[in-house]
Amino acid sequence: MVVDFVRRTVELPEGTLPLCETGRTAERQRTEVRQRVGTKYKQCQARQIAEAAIRKESAAKNRPADLINIALEKVVAAGLELLAFSTFDTMASTIRTEVNTSICCGVHAWMSLTEQAGMLRLLEERDSDGTTQFNRLKQPAQGPSWSHFKRLFTHLEWLDEPGDTAVWVDGVAAPKVTDFAGEADAADASELRDYAAMKRIALLACLAHKARMRVRDDLATMFCKRVAMKIKKAREELEEIRLAERDIVEALIGNYRTVLKNLDDGGPAQEALAKAAAMTAEAVKAWTGWTRRHRWRKSPGAWAETSARPCSPWRRPSGCRPGAWGWSPRRWRASAGLRGSTSGSRRSPRITATSGRCCCAGSSAGTGR
């Protein structure tokens, strides 16, 4: 692969092969390449760095590809020449097996003999449907109903019977527990029987721990959904009750008003209704008079003394002077209560309050003389 890359880069014909006359020449060329890229050829140191990085990350990661990538980053950061990929692969597999074995031993040591026997019975005992109890660890949650809630609570009690799984996996990284539980979940009972007893118990313990966590979460979620459904239904029923009570109250008020009205013709209810009607009529009358006075801007006495008809609002009398008009058409409409176009509108001359005559030179109002 390296030869093909160099051949394409320097544009050599296909079939050109590298030729080294002696081993010393090849070594000198490798040294020049390392100097060019800034790396050092220290295989022992590179192995130590890669091994330490893989062993440290194996406590939390389980995939060999992740471990190899971390080892490559550490070796490159140290400025050393990379090892062969097969070396990294073998190293990652070996160290990962050692770390997983130590974790399984730790989980096995935290469990008592009774708890270990309980885990092994999951692969042997069968339920009424013919399946092993190991399949009950994989049972998912169902819809949010009270029957499913009770069944899920019973399932949680069954999971708590073997023991406290949190103590069994104490000190184990959560990603590692998840990987072990996933490995056990992907296998069936017959496959797990082929595992070593220590690893089989550790995988079942991790699967039981994750099942307990999942069931608790499902139980809380289902409870919240059921409570939300009950609250929604209670709100709807409360709204229906409120509407029914409002109709009853309105009907009672109407019946009570009818009873008070027909109970006594001269009673307090009738007197109150008559008094309210009189006050309403008086208020309407006062408002009508006030509106009329403000519309014409004349007092009732001055209006009564005016006997002559005012000049036409649309034709100026012949004897009126243009300067005697005084107000603008807009102000005339505002004071006289007229509505119409502002352009071209005309008003009659002012009438004196005492003589009823036009303000122009001696002409009678409305006569034009």
Res 294: pLDDT: 61
User: What's the pTM?
Assistant: 0.57
Domain contains 4: yes
25 shares a domain with 116 = no
223 shares a domain with 126 = yes
- pLDDT tens string 87-98: 999 999 999 999
Domain contains 152: yes
The domain of 136 spans 111-237
Res 288: pLDDT: 82
Domain contains 169: yes
Domain contains 89: no
Tell me how many domains the chain contains: 2
Domain contains 287: no
- Per DSSP, helices labelled H in the chain are 2-9, 23-37, 43-57, 64-77, 85-110, 113-121, 146-160, 165-168, 174-186, 189-192, 197-263, 268-296, 300-305, 329-336
Q: How far is CA 320 from CA 192, 299, 311, 345, in A?
A: 123, 25, 10, 17
* pLDDT band with cut points at 50, 70 and 90 for residue 349: very low
Give the dihedral sign, CA 336/342/347/352.
Answer: positive
Domain contains 330: no
